Structure 1
Amino acid sequence: MPTSIKILHNKHIILGVTGGIAAYKAAAVCSQLVQGGARVDVVMTEAAQKFITPLTFQALTHRPVYTDMFDIPPGQNIPHISLADTADLLLIAPATAHTLAKLANGLADDLLAAIALATPAPLLLAPAMETDMWRHPATQANLEKLRAWGAVVVGPAEGRLASGATGQGRLVEPDEIVSAARVVLGRRGGMSGWRVVVTAGGTREAIDPVRFVSNHSSGKMGYAVAVAARDRGAAVTLITTAGLPDPFGVEVIHVASAEEMRAATLEKTRQAHLLVMAAAVADFRPGTVAEQKIKKKGDTGGLALELVRNPDILAEVAAQKAAGFGPTITVGFAAETEDLLNNAQSKLARKRLDFIVANDVSAADAGFAVDTNRVTLLFAGGSVEELPLLSKVEVAETILDRVECLNVQPAA
């Protein structure tokens, strides 16, 4: 499946690499950005070249690497102007204490600092240094000034440092840096100002303190929708039962049961513009939950469970909307094993959804726990759109494309 990331596609990113031991991680950041579809120009300070060579980045980007403000390629403009003018983002990783001090005081004594002073592009900083340097009042004052000017700072993390000590100052991992870049690039996206709620995963209905009733939902589809909405500038709340890593830049609420998901969803959707109900909520739960682990009795006999209906979350959301509050747009999912379109159409009408995403979970390449999906979109107006096999990331982007095309203006 393609690795291109929509928000990165054709974006011009200046990756500044400065002189710290964490400079080696910048190669992984560079690789991810290029694979995501970005055009990356790398600018290295003299100190950075003591830790990693320009050739590494040239091999990753297939572009020249800039190291000298006075090295002007034939037929090109002055690099600190040409790069600054065309950049969509200036990302500095790692950003050393020395670099932060120069940026905060407007110095332009090397190519990277000059670009930072000349570019109107947003600035994303990923600091890395020893703990005492990070905590020093001068460093904190420089960061406060840079933040006040609009810079976004990601990290540093706690962990083992180059000195062998453990503390705050470690460069955050490349995945987190790239996620932060996506958030910054998406701030003026098509969903900027939207409040989006996404549910994900299969609920777990307790039998006793050890056992539960659940389903095979992995949560991958819901997480993909949450990240795609974040990349479009939305403020996203993800309500999840899944054990997947929390997405960067997303408010995550962990729940287990349908009752817990109901409470969180109804609370968070009161002022939401969009609800995407991707979770596989159990229709039934045990009527009573044993206080202690249920033991086998003898060698024969089974266990009978009385199941009761769980609350219908989407029906309650529809009631909220009818009462004048709740999400402006509601999207549901129908995970079916037979009669896909008829079952999905029935759910679309009963839940009063704007559209529903129907998929046959019995298919090996489009069911639970895989990275691909084959879905059909059914709209309240009667239209039907069948999509080919796509990655779940691509399905998520398509869902949000269709949301943005609806003739519904989200409430302020």
Structure 2
Amino acid sequence: MQVDLIIQAGWIIPVEPASVIYENHSLVIDKGRIIDLLDSKQALQQYQPHSLQVLDKHALIPGLVNCHSHAAMTLLSGLADDLPLMDWLQNHIWPAEQKWVSEAFVRDGTDLAIAEMLRGGTTCFNDMYFFPEVTAQQAVLHGIRANIGLIVFDFPTIWAEHADAYIAKGLALHDELRHQPLLSTSFAPHAPYTVSDEPLRKLLTFADELNLTIHMHVHETRQEVENQIKQTGVTPLQRLNELGLLSPGFMGVHMTQLDSEEIAAYAASGAHIVHCPESNLKLASGFCPVAACLEAGINVALGTDGSASNNDLDMLAEMRTAALLAKGVSGNAGAVPAAQALQMATLNGARALGLDDEIGSLSIGKAADVVAIDLSEIETQPLFNPLSQIVYAVSRQQVQHVWVAGRHLLDKRRLTGIDLAELQAKVQSWQSRIGTP
């Protein structure tokens, strides 16, 4: 049988089944989908590939899913470091955004983010930012998978003047994008402290009608929770629950402030958590109790947050930090073992986005979103367990190849669809402008 591509690998870590590692196996890909996973010798006996990739020193994993990002904020990376969240936001980031954010800013910032993410093995990102139509356009141009956040605030910004305008523009964009094979959409109300009850009720109605997920910053800091209690008499989570938002279609991002009762109630709702450990650490926002959340049955995915608060989009590093932090916070060295950390960075993100039938594991029938990591480098030797080395030792510089829907977007560390010299010139131009008082 003729097929488009066979990738022979030293190891294949499919994520489903959990903890399984196939040695000297091949992925068979045709028309952008995985059609077989079998022993490499058998693969060449059964299939005639148009293209054959022999990667005997590499491990294949599913493409990483960055479940929370503000892609265009790459252009603000390092602008305001070492500050707590509200000082960082109100006194530095929001003023910079007021001055600089435009369609051109979002286009160039998104291009920079996509280049960085692909070079780090991320094949799908869930975004929340201004001019989402531009983010969508650049994702389509570069062939990466994306979930585009339809942002909502109560107050005017450069993208819309009030909540109803955000919702109307978001609905129009959803309708425009619904036939793009690599794109999906979510409503993205910014946070409980920036979106009031009535817009949230409207979003819930539209989300139910259109079968869209809702993606929101929630319980990011203790101050946020305390302020909401003073203003409304309830926590942000209680308020969202009373409004009916907490459901299997809801993604709560950060969730650093949770007690045992809140964890149990959140688990019962079926809602998902998107954990952003490095951003939370850098902003001193607190620790999501990941081990307790997983034990309660909550689906926990991973995100980088934006580069302005991280300062990178490195999902391999995020995965390692998540695993180590969970052990330290819980006092249990067995919390979030390597296989679970990899699942949080892949399949759990796909589940949160409602895309787990399509991506998140190297399973027959799913899209061929695949990452090849070179494990022959001295930094990952000796190699007793490829899965553990990927979680605890690999750097993103060891990501050698990336495919999205079978399309080769990173080939031996070279981006096949992005001119890095041209991109760097644009970034330098923005740096000069933004850095000038």
With normalisation by structure 1, the TM-score equals 0.30
Larger helix percent: 2
After TM superposition, the score normalised by the length of structure 2 is 0.29
